[in-house]
Amino acid sequence: MKWKIACIQFDIAFGNPEANIEKVCELVKEAGKDNPDIIVLPELWSTGYDLGRLDKIADSGGFVTTKFLKSLAKEQNAHIVGGSIAKKTNRGIYNTMLTVNKDGEVAGEYSKLHLFRLMDEHHFLQPGKTDGMFKLDGENCAGFICYDIRFPEWIRAHTTKNAKAIFVVAEWPLARVEHWRTLLIARAIENQCYVIACNRSGSDPKNEFAGHSMIIDPWGEILAEAGNGAETITATIDLAKVDEVRKQIPIFEDRRPQYY
Ligand SMILES: NC(=O)CCC(=O)C(=O)O
């Protein structure tokens, strides 16, 4: 399976879902001119980290964003890994990744498992309880949200279920850009999978963000990398390469989990 991927890196308007929905609509349509198979958005793209106002601005039940992403996916004939949104439920607010396929169906829903205390998430958000596996065109994929990439065991729990492409959506600050780049490359090499990572650019009242969205192959080669401004990066990935690399160095066969 070959997929052309587009990661849309942009500056999120702080606490302004209407403005962000309008912007994403425009940017997805622009990216769609290149006929990508999969379009990826960053973390909390509709609200940014305006955590103190989430009670007012989070999407209740995720209904507005789900409907919006479904209609965009159908219109663009592309799968959308819809970054994440703040989803309000009667159990609290979650940082939730929604993936919709090009038929306009929800292919996956994953709420961030590891809340990032340095950015106060634990005061405002609930941690998810499910894994990030989903399928696109019958292929196993997995989704992760930002801080999750610091937990290799969480990513591994998905690649041992044969996830071949992992999607990381983020609001990763510039202060730790080298951690971002190094961790993403390491996750690709150690799991012998594609890593498709979409970060935001710009700043909010507390942080300047790194950008540097990346598409990395299972050998750890960077196929595309953004700078730190608003930019859409694209690359074509071929999942056959995952099987090739896993055959060349068979780490999944050579694991000794009984000793770990
Ligand atoms: N939004 C996040 O989860 C940020 C994670 C981060 O910055 C880190 O260093 O980890």
Q: What DSSP element (H or E) covers 80?
A: strand 79-81
Joined together, the tokens standing for residue 162 give 């044969």
5-24 per-position pLDDT tens digit: 999 999 999 999 999 999 99
Query: Tell me, what's the pLDDT at 24?
Result: 98
**CATH number of domain containing 227:** 3.60.110.10
Query: Tell me, what's the pLDDT at 250?
Result: 98
Q: Given the DSSP bridges, would you call strands 231-238 and 2-9 parallel, antiparallel or unpaired?
A: antiparallel
What is the C-alpha to C-alpha distance for residues 80 and 136, in angstroms, rounded to an integer?
A: 10
112 alpha carbon – ligand 1 mean position (Å): 12
Query: Tell me, what's the pLDDT at 52?
Result: 98
Query: Tell me, what's the pLDDT at 255?
Result: 98
Establish whether 241 is a catalytic residue. Answer: no
Please indicate whether residue 173, judged by its CB atom, sits closer than 6 Å to ligand 1.
yes
The number of domains in the chain is: 1
197 alpha carbon – ligand 1 mean position (Å): 13
Query: Tell me, what's the pLDDT at 157?
Result: 98
Query: Tell me, what's the pLDDT at 216?
Result: 99
Establish whether 208 is a catalytic residue. Answer: no
Cβ 113 vs Cβ 128: under 8 Å:
yes
Query: Tell me, what's the pLDDT at 227?
Result: 98
117-168 per-position pLDDT tens digit: 999 999 999 999 999 999 999 999 999 999 999 999 999 999 999 999 999 9
Of all residues in the chain, the percent with pLDDT exceeding 90 is 100
- For ligand 1, atom 10, the nearest C-alpha belongs to 147
Half-sphere exposure of 100 (CA within 13 A, CB side): 22
What single-letter DSSP state applies at residue 202?
S
* Contact residues for 46 (Cβ-Cβ < 8 A; gap 6+): 12, 17, 20, 21, 24, 59, 65, 85, 86
pTM of the model: 0.98
Query: Tell me, what's the pLDDT at 207?
Result: 98
Establish whether 146 is a catalytic residue. Answer: yes
Confidence of residue 183 (pLDDT cuts 50, 70, 90): very high
Confidence of residue 111 (pLDDT cuts 50, 70, 90): very high
The parent domain of residue 159 ranges over 2-259
The mean pLDDT value for 47-57 works out to: 98
Mean pLDDT, the chain, rounded, equals 98
Please indicate whether residue 146, judged by its CB atom, sits closer than 6 Å to ligand 1.
yes
Please indicate whether residue 147, judged by its CB atom, sits closer than 6 Å to ligand 1.
yes
